[in-house]
Amino acid sequence: MKDKKHYHAIHITQDKCIGCVRCMTACPTKAIRVKDGKARIIDERCIDCGECLRFCPYDAVHSHTTSFAALDAFAYKVAIPSTVIYGQFGSATLPNEILSALRRVGFDEVYDPSAICELNTAAVEEYLHEHPQPRPFITSTCPVVVRLIQRRYPGLCAQILPIEPPREVAAKILRTILPKALNLPPEKIGIIHLTPCPAKMVSINSPATLKKSYLDGAISIRDIYPEVLNALRKSQDDALMRHLFPETLFSGIGMGWSLSGGEIRGFKSQRAVAVSGVADTMRVLDQVEAGLFQDIDLLECTVCPDGCVGGPLQVENRFLAKSRILQLVDAAGDRAVVDHKDVSRLYHKNFLSFDHPVTPAEALPLDADPARAIAKAQRREKLFKKLPRKDCGICGAPDCWTLADDVVRGAARLADCPFVRKEKR
């Protein structure tokens, strides 16, 4: 086995994997093979989208997120939750109650992300205004989309909008201000993202656009859910307090960011389109690569269905969560809480920009030598014709075409196909 070159958050627990083909056939980048009765992930192809995690009935796919115990390393713990968390606890629970419950669970401070989301929307609008070309720009909020583009659509790297997503901007602001305010060394302050997304951990541990992430880790909403629920149950008085004395003014523009279309909702003068779900995202990126969408300023892409609210590491039924968040968006209306002068100042100081552009990931051609690549492609066509086209997955590849591809790349044998074997006998 080769050494792993890329950090991944998605792993297969070998003991639990029974070697069925569900994750393999669900994988949008054909990154899984089942060999010797166990599913294996091909490092270079995986984009950490979490589709396998959704499809595995045996709980054998897990994602590596920060454990609650790991927070003990920090003297001061800060949480920046995704707005998805507001949709997790029913329609009677106010955002403020949830933030307050998170404090009781063990965070010293918890920051609502909706204002930062609004700030991001305003900065993006300013960027688009100043950069009439190229079109369309593609949002970078979804780390899977960034990785998908690096691997499958390298030609679109320059179209990724070079503004950091709200989670990083929020962490950067806090990292700048808190050490002075608290008189603590920066390394003693832990800034943690609470997320429904396995790929956030990848964007923290090996960021595509920053030298180093401003976040110290990501806890999955699934992991922290029981603790928060427990804290909410124990605090009838607090709930009354929060209902009667709401402290935080939520941004109406930022509140819906975790829903597909949320990032572009606040735009006034730009033409923007939102796409969600991994298959639809790939379809649209294919079209962008063919030169379409040039009359669109911004393409919001999120690979989870309905946006981050459909993330595999959230708990609540996605439709209920979405409905709850829409209620909150309605309640907040178009309320803006961010001063545009602040946005402009931070934007022009390049405080919100990428450290470096997104670069294409190493491509996986059939062969580095063009003539040999052509010969392999010819051979692959011939091999494919011998296969039954049942896409059964028994050979260990997700479909017949991929088996032919694996064979010419030297990663499988034609005899791995049970139909070919039977014929030979």
Partner 1 sequence: MAASAVFRREFPVKGGDFSKAGTVACRIKDLLKELGLDTQTVRRAAIASYEAEMNVIMYAWEGRMKLAVSPGKVRIVVDDRGPGIPDVNLAMTEGYSTATPEMRELGFGAGMGLPNIKKNSDGFQIESEVGRGTRLEIIINTNGHKP
Q: Which of 381, 383, 401 is nearest to 391 (CA)?
A: 401
Q: Could you give the CA distance from residue 143 to residue 189 in angstroms, rounded to a whole number? A: 24
Q: How far is the CB of 90 from partner 1 (least distance, A)?
A: 42
Residues 6+ apart with CB under 8 A from 228: 85, 88, 89, 98, 101, 102, 105
Q: Please compute, for residue 368, the number of CA atoms within 13 A of its CA located in the half-sphere on the CB side.
A: 1
x/- site string to partner 1, residues 302 to 341, per CB under 8 A?
Answer: ----------------------------------------
Farthest CA pair distance, the chain: 79
Point out which span in 114-122, 135-143, 357-365, 412-420 binds partner 1 (CB under 8 A).
357-365
Q: How far is the CB of 164 from partner 1 (least distance, A)?
A: 25
Residue tagged 């009667």 (tokens): 244
Choosing from 371, 410, 422, 424, the residue that interacts with partner 1 (CB under 8 A) is 371
Residues numbered 262 to 291 that lie near partner 1 (CB under 8 A) are 286-287, 289-291
Q: Is 134 in the site for partner 1 (CB under 8 A)?
A: no
Q: Which of 39, 275, 259 is nearest to 148 (CA)?
A: 275
Do the bridges between strand 109-110 and strand 137-138 make them parallel or antiparallel, or are there none, so unpaired? unpaired
Q: Is 363 in the site for partner 1 (CB under 8 A)?
A: yes
Give the nearer residue to partner 1 in terms of CB position, either 336 or 375: 375
Choosing from 92, 181, 244, 368, the residue that interacts with partner 1 (CB under 8 A) is 368
For residue 12, the cross-strand partners are 61
Residues 6+ apart with CB under 8 A from 234: none
Residues 6+ apart with CB under 8 A from 80: 110, 111, 113, 167, 170, 171, 174, 191, 192, 193, 194, 215
Q: Is 135 in the site for partner 1 (CB under 8 A)?
A: no
Give the helix, strand, coil percentages of the chain, each rounded to 5: 45, 10, 45
Give the nearer residue to partner 1 in terms of CB position, either 154 or 261: 154
Point out which span in 200-208, 219-227, 239-247, 365-373 binds partner 1 (CB under 8 A).
365-373
Choosing from 375, 392, 414, 420, the residue that interacts with partner 1 (CB under 8 A) is 375
Q: Is 374 in the site for partner 1 (CB under 8 A)?
A: yes
CA of residue 32 relative to chain centroid, distance:
19
DSSP-assigned letters across all residues of 161-197 = --B--HHHHHHHHHHHHHHHHHT--GGGEEEEEEES-
Q: Is 133 in the site for partner 1 (CB under 8 A)?
A: no
Residues numbered 376 to 405 that lie near partner 1 (CB under 8 A) are 377-378, 381
Q: How far is the CB of 277 from partner 1 (least distance, A)?
A: 18
Q: How far is the CB of 146 from partner 1 (least distance, A)?
A: 17
- Report the 10 Å Cβ neighbour count for 108: 15
Point out which span in 236-244, 253-261, 324-332, 361-369 binds partner 1 (CB under 8 A).
361-369
Residues numbered 152 to 181 that lie near partner 1 (CB under 8 A) are 154-155
Under the rule (CB under 8 A), what is the footprint of partner 1?
A: 154-155, 286-287, 289-292, 360, 363-368, 370-371, 373-375, 377-378, 381
